[in-house]
Amino acid sequence: MTHSPATHLALLLLLVAPIAQSGSINITRSVESVTVEHNGVDLKVMRNQDPTALVDPTWSMTGRNCPPFCVQPLTAAPGVATVGIHEVIQFMQNELTFDEGVIIDARTPDWNERGTIPGSVNIPYTHLNRAAGGDDDMMEEAFEQFGVTRNENGWNFSKAKKLVLWCNGWWCGQSPAAIRGLLSEGYPAEKLFYFRGGMQNWKIYGMTVAH
């Protein structure tokens, strides 16, 4: 029996395609879940395993007023990398696990109380940006968590941790404001990462939300 080129290609793809576990909805091909510490409790981060699940209507809205809910640039600031869920999961597995990084929910507390990304610390952008109301005490309290200290010349960033900052999504300006505030204090741009998709992307992908 002979096969057409298209049939040969289809058979080859079947042979090389990975075999997925029945009923499993992984985060990536090789990662089913990750466990992070959230408020002193280990929490498993994974996707919703219900294949019929739909996104919460709150996060499917398309008619938010602009301003203030305006689409943000892909890059929050020069030198700051924009990341997606895949990179956030890797950050959880590496920098967060080994205390070399912090995931920051840069939203105001009222938003944080509705649910947050597991492993995140809620530090509102208003504490990290002087133009938004931040002051020395707020900065110093936050920077202590980031491994940043003061010296006679100002901030010492020699042991600064890597930071992933996020807010509500591509229409939210809270984490970009936090990033700009950190940069204005001298925080190294290469140690800052902008999760632009934020909570909306997290919800759409069916990821675990902490309360």
Residue 13 lies in a domain: no
Q: How many folded domains does the chain comprise? A: 1
The three-state (H, E, C) secondary structure of the chain, written as one string: CCCCHHHHHHHHHHHHCCCCCCCCCCCCCCCCCEEEEECCEEEEECECCCCCCCCCHHHCCCCCCCCCCCCCCCCCCCCCEEECHHHHHHHHHHHHCCCCEEEEECCCHHHHCCCECCCEEECCHHHHCHHHCCCHHHHHHHHHHCCCEEECCEEECCCCCEEEEECCCCCCCHHHHHHHHHHHCCCCHHHEEEECCHHHHHHHCCECCEC
CATH number of the domain at 149, please.
3.40.250.10
pLDDT in tens, the chain (211 residues): 454 544 444 443 333 444 444 458 999 999 999 999 999 999 999 999 999 999 989 899 899 999 999 999 999 999 999 999 999 999 999 999 999 999 999 999 999 999 999 999 999 999 999 999 999 999 999 999 999 999 888 999 999 999 999 999 999 999 999 999 999 999 999 999 999 999 999 999 999 999 9
Residue 178 lies in a domain: yes
pLDDT of residue 8: 46
Residue 18 lies in a domain: no
Domain that holds residue 51: 34-204
Q: Which tokens is 159 given?
A: 């042991």
pLDDT of residue 23: 58
Residue 20 lies in a domain: no
Residue 4 lies in a domain: no
Residue 3 lies in a domain: no
